[in-house]
Amino acid sequence: MTIDHTHDAAARSWVASANDPATDFPLQNLPFCAFRRAGTLEPFRVGVGIGDQILDLSAWGIADLNALMARPSSERRALRHRLFDTLKVGAPELELVPQAAAEYTVPCRIGDYTDFYTGIHHARAIGKLFRPDNPLLPNYQWVPIGYHGRSSSIVVSGTPLRRPKGQVKPPDADAPVFKPSARIDCELELGLFVGPGNALGEPFGIDEADEHAFGLTLLNDWSARDIQPWEYQPLGPFLAKNFGTTISPWIVTMEALEPFRIPFTRPAGDPQPLPYLDSPAHRAGAAYDIELEIWFKTPGMAEPARLSRSNLRHAYWSLAQMLTHHASNGCNLQPGDLLGTGTLSGPEPEEAGSLLELTGGGKQPLTLPNGEQRTFVQDGDQLGLRAFAEKPGYRRIGFGACDGVILPAR
């Protein structure tokens, strides 16, 4: 764990909005994005969030976030220190771009996307619905489960998605039908962006994993729950998942999250990780205390309502284990690759990370503050994810918005 002056809660910025206790982006955060002025055809540029403003890094010679991701962590920390000093009270004020006047795209080139399944409480809950006699498969507690997703359909927060069509087979039908999905769901996840990669055929150890982690973003891996059970066996998720994945425009660096590390532990009696996924240093601080929330708004609601709240600490596998296992067979990870955590549900019902769990498989509709009810996402509904880390003695670190609206199927 590396705590330094950039985590000092007493430090203030000359950007007044960054000193607001409620801001997602205080001086101690400094997340990256790709932005341009709204309504223009300017090229997207790399920026850093500070309060409600953006610092354009094009004047700093930083035009490609993937190239920055490829740099060693020591160089990234040096850049963080320079940004911190530039935006701290007493430094000369620079021209900034208001976030309200900007539009965003995905923050980097995402070559490959892998979605893991690290939330054991979600795995058990979904397993009970899909496989009541065998909810948690025997490999789950031994190997980090994942599948390769579709990077081309990853979109930035605010991008509408069309309701997908697919094959659906009702339980009492003799044959499936091709129709619009009626059970669109969210998945409350974080996405880990890979920093420096590894060469093909060259795995790395668990204590080297931090060097390959650049930062985290909010991630909603939308799911068509009526398409999923018919197609997912024997090879796993396909069209029920790849119609769209929404991410926040902001990448919160691992350096900003250093104060929120916590010990990585397994419940008593559970199998311990195999040696290549375990070490004393990993056990001492590989987990993170990051709060996660689902918010929902129908067209008839004036304000969104929070549906659930969970935490990254409930993950059964750590970020370092995801990275290490992915490369353990010699797979070459590359800067900008995205690894989803999988749905991060907690042990309590109100900590569910999907509508499927919150509604008992669609059998128990949720009643919203205006009296409307929902089991799954209807056309025009907006679903948003939020995340933040807070701890006494440190500034609150937020992740920005991860919002999406479902449009009618074509």
Q: Give the active site residue among 7, 122, 212, 326.
A: 122
State the Cα angle at 79 between 292 and 13, rounded to 5°. Answer: 70
Q: Which two tokens stand for residue 59?
A: 């004047």
Q: Is 379 exposed, middle or buried (0-12, 13-18, 19+ CB in 10 A)?
A: middle
Cβ atoms of 116 and 322 within 8 Å: the answer is: yes
Instruction: Return the number of other C-beta atoms located less than 10 Å from residue 346's C-beta.
Output: 20
Cβ atoms of 33 and 249 within 8 Å: the answer is: yes
Q: Is 406 exposed, middle or buried (0-12, 13-18, 19+ CB in 10 A)?
A: buried
| Measured torsion, CA atoms of residues 37, 39, 40, 45, in degrees rounded to the nearest 10 | 30
State the Cα angle at 409 between 131 and 362, rounded to 5°. Answer: 30
Strands 402-407 and 382-389: antiparallel
Cα separation, 125 vs 353, in Å, equals: 10
Dump strand ranges (E) for 90-170: 97-98, 102-105, 113-116, 146-148, 154-156, 161-162, 165-168
Instruction: Return the number of other C-beta atoms located less than 10 Å from residue 235's C-beta.
Output: 8
Phi, psi of 290 (to 5 degrees): -130, 120
Instruction: Tell me whether the omega of the peptide bond preceding residue 43 falls within 30 degrees of 0, making it cis.
Output: no
- Catalytic (active site) residue 122: yes
Cα separation, 25 vs 28, in Å, equals: 8
Residues marked as catalytic:
122
